[in-house]
Every structure is written in C-alpha cells, then in structure tokens.
Structure 1
Amino acid sequence: MKTRAVRLYGANDLRLEEFELPEIKEDEILVEVISDSICMSTYKCAILGEKHKRVPEDVYENPVIIGHEFAGNIIKVGEKWKHQFKPGTKFAQQPALNYKGSMASPGYSYKYFGGDTTYAIIPPEVMELGCLLNYEGDSYYEVSLAEPMSCIIGAFHANYHTKMGKYTHYMGIKEGGKLAILAGAGPMGLGAIDYALHCDRRPKLLVVSDVDDTRLKRAQKIFTQEEAKKCGVNLIFVNTKDLKDPVRHLIELTGGTGFDDVFVFAPVKAVVEQGDKILGRDGCLNFFAGPTDTSFSGEINYYNVHYASTHIMGTTGGNTDDLIESLRLTEKKKINPAVMVTHIGGLNCVAETTLNLPKIPGGKKLVYTHIDMELTAIEDFKEKGKKEIRFKKLAEIIEKNNGLWCAEAEKYLLENWK
C-alpha cells in the first residue's frame, strides 16, 4: 500500500513524498498514523542529518521517516502478535527503544517507521521491548503528547535527595518541598507545572520564572493560583527579565532557604548558573533542556557541592513506565497535555515547520497526517474564521475550552479537513 510521509535525506533535507510500503512480515504491525507532535529533538535531527547519533550514515540512499510523538490506529497485525494487538484499536508507543545497545529510534532511524506519515510499519523490537501500548482514550493528540509528558515525568522521578551520613539516593522531587521551574512558561515548562500540581508527590511552593510576558500571561490563565491552592501548592509566577537581582528575589520567595528542586528548561548559560545559585541545602538541579552546542557549559558553586550537598543532573526522555503514567493520568483527566499546544497543522507543513522550529514562537506544534493545512496558531483561528467557516467553528470550540485544544476540536478537524 502507499503512504505519504516526510522523510530525511540529510542535513536540512526533508521531503514530503508518496511511496510504497512493503507487505508486513509475521513479526511486524501495520498502523495508520493520525497525529504527531513536532519535537525540538526532530529539529536537531533534521539540521544534523547523518551527523546525528541516531540517524543512519546512508540516510541519503535510505531516507528515514521523521517524527516520534505519534498516535493512531492498528490496521494489520502479524501472526506473532495477534494474541496481544487487534486491528481497529488505538495505539501509543515509546520511542526510546534502546534495543540491544542500539540507538535506533522511530523518527530518526527507520525507513518505514516514524510519526510524520499516513501509514507506518512497526518493527518487532518495539513489541519485544513492550514499547507498543494499547490505548483506550477518545483522542489521538493526548497520545501524541503523552511522549513529551513522559519526559517531564521521568525528570521528576530522576531527581534525588540525600541524608547526611547515609549513602542512599532518595528518588523524586522533595514532597512538600520548594520547587522552581526556570524558563518555565514554554510548552515543556507548562507540562511540568501541570504535573507538579496534579501528581502524587507535590511541592508546597512552586515558582515559575520566564522573561516573556506573553508566555507568562498564558501560563497564569491556564494555571490559576486558586487551582494551585486546591492542590496544596503555592504557585508564583515571576518575570526575571527586569529584576535587578533575580537570584536574591527568587531565594527570598523561599524564605531564604533556597529551593529543594530546580528544573532548567532552556539551554542558556545564565539560566543554568541562576539555577545553581538558588539551590538550598541538598538541592537538586535538573538540566532538562538539551543544547545543540556540544561545548555548552556554565559555572557551578563547588563550595556548595562540598558543604551543602547540592547536586546537578540531567535527563533526556522518559521510559515506558513514565509513558504509561502519562497516559493513565491523562485518561483520568488529572493532567491535560493540551496546555503545551499552540499550533495546529497538516502533513504538508511538517518539513518547513521542523526546519524553522526555533524561530516559530509559542508551544507545541501538533500535526494531523491525513490532512493538508498550513501551520496555524490556535489564537489565530478566530481571525481566520472571518473568511473560513471551518476556522470559525474551531475558534468557537476552543473558546469554550479556555483557549486549549481538545477532543471536540480534534473530532471536528478530522471530519472537515481533507
């Protein structure tokens, strides 16, 4: 059968093409992809091409399908997996495979397996590792966004703390502690706020900083102080751009103790160093933002490392348990991954959007692979609706949902765009 996909041929070389898929083998599964969320990691892959560690050296001869935050329907199941998966059901998948030491991953490494396509073939290692999951929720976008949410969940689980005289790492953020999310009003930061407020291990103080007033205002609209108080959390938003001494201001918000946990959501030297300076005793800094500069570095206070037991770590991606937690919290309506989404588009906009991702403001760019639609900011639906009735209807649906993408909007989009 034919599929339509965006494929990588080398650095800065993405092409939307139609080509033939082979018949699946007895240990493979054919799926229809419905949605994919474009990740900054895909941008890094696209600009590096074969220099990326996950991209094959012969990518020009054997192009790979990009995109790894995807969801859809199972179409055909090879004999080996018929006891576990059924045609007609929704699926979720964990792209961080780590199969026998290989770095191969969907969206980077496979000729027929990725997210920015109409149909894909899932290879046997995905099922062998337990990375293909059945999903029973109503929408597809929630599954696409479960992967970035799983990265956030993994970061929260990976933070750790210690006790004097003991050689044990106590995993997770400090429950009832003081937590800061720096550069936290972007898409992943919003997901982190959502998780911090609604997970089962919450801080008592949550401070979110950023230097962009527009992003902060959107964050404050989505996450009100009243909602946070219901969760037992004192939520404070801070614009550090014009503060004379942002470090002092942030520490003062803790009552002078400093923070137990700090997450840095931007690969900016000044932000990383600020994060180190606001750590309290036994504070853990998680450098979440992945830089493209291989020599990226910043100063840390080694006096505090020695005498105050401060420590720094980094996480990239989540594991299958994190993905399952993300899906279950979403199914139970405890978290809403839609807080990350600011733009919607079709498969035809993927190549240009991916290659220009750092230049496009806003949060997550969510695409639907079976439609053609220019990348459009959700906040622009109303204006576009003056000339196009479909956008007017989408704007009305979004307005009822606090400005956020939702299952009703997705259903309308899939029924009315081709």
Structure 2
Amino acid sequence: MKARAVRLHGANDLRLDEFELPAIKEDEILVKVISDSICMSTYKCAVLGTAHKRVHPDVAEHPAIMGHEFAGEIVQVGEKHRDRFRPGMKFAQQPALNYKGTMWSPGYSYEFFGGDATYCIIPAEVMELGCLMEYRGRAFYEASLAEPMSCCIGAFHACYHTRMGCYEHEMGIMEGGRTAILAGAGPMGLGAVAYALCCDRRPGMLVVADQDQARLDRARSLFSDQARMAGIDLRLVNTAQSADPAGALRALTGGAGFDDVFAFAPVSAVVELSSAVLGRDGCLNFFAGPMDPAFSARMNFYDVHYNATHIMGTTGGNTDDLMESLDLSARGLLDPAVMVTHIGGLDAAAEATLRLPELPGGKKLIYTQIDMPLTAIEDFPAKAAEDPRFGYLADLCLARRGLWCPEAEAYLLEHWTR
C-alpha cells in the first residue's frame, strides 16, 4: 500500500516521500499513525545522519522514517499476533527497544517503522519485547506524549540516595526533599514539573530555574495552584537575573543544597551550576543529551568524596514508565499537554524538525493524516479571520487553560483533511 512519510536520507536531508509499503509478514503489524510529537532527539538525528548512534549506515539507500513519539490505530495483524492484537485497536508504543544489545529505535533505525508517517509496519521485535500495547484513552496525543513523559518519569525513578555506612542505594528522588530542575521551563522540564506534582515520591520543595522569563511565567500560570494544593513549595527562578546563581539557589534551601538536581540542557554552565547546588548525598541527573561526543563540564569532586554527591544520567524511559504516564493521564492526575505549544500536519514535520532549536515554545505535535501549517496554539484566535476552523480550536483550548485537549483533537481530525 502507499504511504507518506518524512524520511531521513542523510545529514540535514529530510524529505516528505510517498512510497510503497511491503506486505506485512506473519510476525509484523500494520498501523495507521495519527499523532507524533517532535523530540529534540529527532532534531539531533536529522542533523547528524549516520553520525548518530541509532542511524543505520546505509540510510541513503534505505531512508529511515522519522519520529518515535507516536500513536494510532492497528490496521492489519500478522498471524502470530492475532491472539493479542486486532484491527481497529488503538495503540501506544515504547520506542526504546534495546533489542539484542543494539540501540535500534523507530524514528532512527527503520525503513518502514516510524511516527512521521501515514502508515508504518511494526516489526517483530517490538511485540517480542512487549513494547506495543493497547491504548484505551480518549486522545491520541496523550499516547504520543506518554513517551516523552516516560523519559521524565524514568529520570525520577533512576535517581538514588545512600545512608552513611550503608552500601544499598535507595531508588527515586528524596521524598519530601529539595528538588531543582535547571533549564527547566522548556517542554521536557514542564513535563518533569507536572510529574513531580503528582507522583508518589513528591518533593517538599521544587525549584524550577531558567533564563527565559516568558517560559517561567507560563510555568507559574500552569502549576502554582496545583503545587499549593499538593503542599509543595514551588519556586520559579530566573538565574539570568542573579550575579551568583549558585548562591541564590542554595539560599532557597537555607544553604543546605538540593537532594536531587536535574540538568535539562546540555550546556556546561548548567551542569556546573547543578554540581554547585547539590547538598549532601545530592544526586545530579544529567538529563539532556549532548550532540558533541566530547561534551564535558567541571564537577566538584571534593563534594563527591566528602559529601557523597553523585552524578548519573538517563536516556528515555522503559515500558513501565510509559504505562505509568498513561495511567496518571487516564486518572486526570497528569496532563501532558502542558508540553505542547504548536500543532501541525505531516507537511510541516520536516521543516519543524530541522528548525526545532530556533522555534519558540514547547513541543510541536504533528497529526500525520492531515496537512496543516505548524501553528502556535496562542495564534489560533488570530488565524480565525482567514480560517474559521482556527476559531473553534481556539475556543476549545481556551476552555482548558489554553492547552491542547481531547476536544480540540477530535475537532481537528474531523475537520482537517489532506
């Protein structure tokens, strides 16, 4: 069958192609993709090409479909999987496969498997690893965003702490402790904040530091009330306004420093600030993946030795993390839409991916079955004059604090076509 997809042909070479999908094998599944959110990791893949660890060396001859944060509906099921999956079933998927020691993943490594597509083929290893699951939620975007949310959830779970004289690690952030998210007002930082306010190991103090005041103001409007109701002391700090950011952040803790610090930007200054604000037994999670394989930053090793500070990093979440995200969303405790600021169709995906660092706002959410220019949610009212449909979308989002929502998705899918 014919499919359209944004495919990687080489470094900085993304093309919206139309091509023939092969017939599925008995251990494969054909799916219709509905939504895919663009990740900064997708940008890194697009600009690096075969220099990226997950991209196969012959991508020029066998271009890879981009996008790994996707959801949709099952169309056809191979004989081997008909006891578990059926046509018409909605699905979510965990792209971090770690298959037989490889780093293969949709959106990087497969010719016919990826999210920026109208249709794609899910290969056997995905089902073998339990990474394809039925999605029973209302909105496809929540299933797409469960993947980036799972990265935040996994980061919280992977932090660890110790006690003097004991060699056992206690996993997770310090419950009731002091947590800081640096460079934390971007889309992934907001996802981490949303999770921190509803997870089962909540901090007593949560500091979100950034240098973009507009982003901090948006975070304040989204989370202040929720933090108050959860009994969490939420502080939003513009580090650009301080001559001594480390001193200012430590002062919020009475000089004790933070139990858990997340560095959400691959910038040396952010990593070094993270090290400087750690308290005793403080855990630094270097969350943001750098593009430079030689990236480095200074860390205080005096504190490593005498104060038991430690550093670790996470990339992606696992299937349990993704299922936790879906469960929290289904129960109304977690709204992953806080990450999303722009909506577009498949025709907008290639340019949006290649320009991602320079585009303002948060996550860019792509609906692959439609054509639509990438449009900021806040610009919907202005667009209504030229296209009344944007007016309806604006009203639906306004009723949800200006956030993308299931009602807006349903309207979009009904009223936009190729």
TM-score calculated relative to the size of structure 1:
0.99
- Per the TM alignment, residue 34 of structure 1 is displaced from its structure 2 partner at its CA by 0.2
Deviation at 1:68, TM superposition (A): 0.3
Tell me which residue corresponds to 1:324: 323
Provide the secondary structure at the position in 2 that maps to 1:105. coil
Matched residue SS, 2:320 = helix
TM-fit CA distance, 1:246: 1.4
Kindly state the Cα deviation for residue 255 of structure 1 after the two structures are TM-superposed: 1.6
**Which residue of 2 is the match for residue 130 of structure 1?**
130
One-letter amino acid of the structure 1 residue matched with residue 386 of structure 2: K
Aligned twin of 1:252: 251
Q: Which amino acid aligns with 1:83?
A: D
Matching residue of 2:86: 86
Q: Given residue 201 of structure 2, which amino acid in structure 1 is its aligned partner?
A: R
Deviations 1:140-175 (A, max 9, x none): 000000000000000000000001111111110000
Letter in 1 for 2:3: T
Matched with 1:277 is 276
Name the SS for the 2:274 alignment partner: helix
Written as runs of structure 1 = structure 2, the 5 A alignment for 1:280-359 is 280-359=279-358
Aligned residues: 417
Q: Which amino acid aligns with 1:386?
A: A
Between the aligned partners of 2:206 and 2:388, the Cα distance in structure 1 is: 41
Q: Give the equivalent residue in structure 2 for 1:144.
A: 144
Task: Compute the displacement of 1:268 (Å).
Answer: 1.2
In the alignment, the residues of structure 2 paired with residue 188 and residue 101 of structure 1 have an alpha-carbon distance, to the nearest angstrom, of 27
1:174 counterpart SS class: coil
Q: 1:223-270 CA deviation, whole Å, 9 max, x = no partner? A: 11x321211211111111111211111111112211000001111111
Q: In the alignment, what sits opposite 1:108? A: 108
Tell me the CA shift for residue 92 of structure 1.
0.4
Cα root mean square deviation, aligned: 0.8
Separation in structure 2 between the aligned mates of residue 276 and residue 48 of structure 1, nearest angstrom: 29
CA distance in 2, matches of 1:64, 1:387: 36
Q: Residues 281-319 of structure 1, C-alpha deviation per residue, up to 9 Å, x if partnerless?
A: 000011101111122111111111000000011111011
What letter matches 1:236 in structure 2? R
Aligned partner of residue 150 in structure 1, secondary structure:
helix
Per-residue Cα deviation, 1:2-41 (whole angstroms, up to 9, x for no partner): 1111111111111101111111111110100000000111
SS in 1 for 2:30: strand
Whichever residue aligns with residue 107 of structure 1, its letter is: G
Q: Deviations over 1:166-190 (max 9, x none)?
A: 1111110000000001111100000
Q: Is structure 2 residue 44 aligned with structure 1 residue 13?
A: no
Q: What is the deviation of 1:207? A: 0.6
Does residue 45 (structure 1) correspond to residue 45 (structure 2)? The answer is yes
TM-score by length of 2: 0.99
Listed one character per residue, the Cα deviations across residues 365-396 of structure 1 (whole Å, up to 9, x for unaligned) are 00000110111111111111122101111111
- Match in the other structure for 2:29: 29
Q: Which amino acid aligns with 1:69?
A: E
Q: Deviations over 1:61-98 (max 9, x none)?
A: 11111100000001111111011111111000000111
In structure 2, distance between residues paired with 1:249 and 1:13: 44
The separation in 2 between residues aligned to 1:239 and 1:207, in whole angstroms, is: 11
Match of 1:236 in 2: 235
**Counterpart in the other structure of 2:263:** 264
Q: Secondary structure at the match of 2:341?
A: strand
Counterpart of 1:258, as a letter, is: G
Q: Per-residue deviation at 1:133?
A: 0.6
Indicate the residue corresponding to 2:368 in structure 1. Answer: 369
1:309 partner letter: A
Distance in 1 between residues matched to 2:264 and 2:38, nearest whole Å: 17
Give the Cα separation in 2 of the matches to 1:148 and 1:193: 13
Q: How does 1:210-229 map to 2 (within 5 A)?
A: 210-224=210-224, 226-229=225-228
Percent identity, aligned pairs only, is: 68
DSSP-derived class of the 1:100 partner: helix
| Aligned equivalents of 1:360, 1:345: Cα separation in 2 | 13
> What is the CA-CA distance between 1:126 and the residue it aligns to?
0.3
Measure, in 1, the Cα distance between the counterparts of 2:26 and 2:189. Answer: 42
For the pair 1:117 / 2:138, whether they are aligned, the reply is no
1:364 CA displacement: 0.3
State the alpha-carbon separation in 2 of the partners of residues 34 and 305 from structure 1: 47
User: In the alignment, residue 217 of structure 1 is paired with which amino acid?
Assistant: D
How far apart, CA to CA, are the structure 2 residues paired with 1:407 and 1:227?
21
What is the deviation of 1:271? 1.2
2:34 counterpart of 1:70: no
**Following the alignment from structure 2 to structure 1, what is the Cα–Cα distance between the partners of residues 382 and 397?**
13
Partner SS for 2:5: strand
Task: Compute the displacement of 1:361 (Å).
Answer: 1.1
Structure 1's consecutive aligned runs of 4 or more residues displaced over 6 angstroms after TM superposition are none
Specify the alignment match of 1:209 in structure 2.
Answer: 209
Which segments of 5 or more consecutive residues in structure 1 lack a partner in the other structure? none
**Structure 2: how far apart are the matches of 1:103 and 1:311?**
26
Structure 2 gaps of 5+ residues are none
Structure-2 separation of matches of 1:221 and 1:403: 11
The residue identity in structure 2 corresponding to 1:213 is Q
Q: CA separation in 2, counterparts of 1:290 and 1:103?
A: 15
